[in-house]
Amino acid sequence: MTTVVPDLRWHDVCDLARLLPERGAAALVDGRQVAIFRTHDGGLHAVDNIDPISGAAVLSRGIVGDRGGVPTVASPVYKESFSLLDGRCLDADGVSVTVYAVRITDGRVQIGIP
């Protein structure tokens, strides 16, 4: 059995140093708004910047933390938390945000878009 991995196109965003630990940053990648987060342990996560509940493009401005060890960002509008691992909203059933691939190459943060 083989797993089909879609080809990702990697987009250069910024220096890693521009990402504050436990703070997000919004990026414009291939016409999409992506919220990129750097967690305390150095992990990088990227999800859609648009909060599906309020419709505002603000998830990058939420507070980063964890719920039961799962890294999260809380929407600054109505405070729902989203898992940074799978994009699932932890406070509203059936709501989620897209998760994007993110990597560091030569100190630069890159986002992978299928």
Rule CB under 8 A: which residues touch another protein?
12-14, 18-23, 25-29, 33, 36, 39-40, 50, 54-58, 61-69, 71-72, 74, 76-77, 79, 81
Whether the CB-CB separation of 67 and 94 falls below 8 Å is answered with no
Choice between 65 and 99, CB closer to another protein: 65
- Between the alpha carbon of residue 7 and those of residues 10, 22, 66, 78, 91, the distances in Å are 10, 29, 31, 35, 32
Give the single-character DSSP code of 58: -
**How near is the Cβ of 27 to another protein at its closest, in Å?**
5
**CB nearer another protein, residue 67 or residue 103:** 67
Least CB distance from residue 34 to another protein, whole Å? Answer: 9
Nearer to another protein, 1 or 17 (CB): 17
**Alpha-carbon separation of residue 44 from 56, 58, 78, 84, 101 (angstroms):** 23, 18, 24, 9, 9
Residue identified by tokens 């990058």 is 60
- Smallest separation, CB 94 to another protein (Å): 18
CB-nearer residue toward another protein: 3 or 14: 14
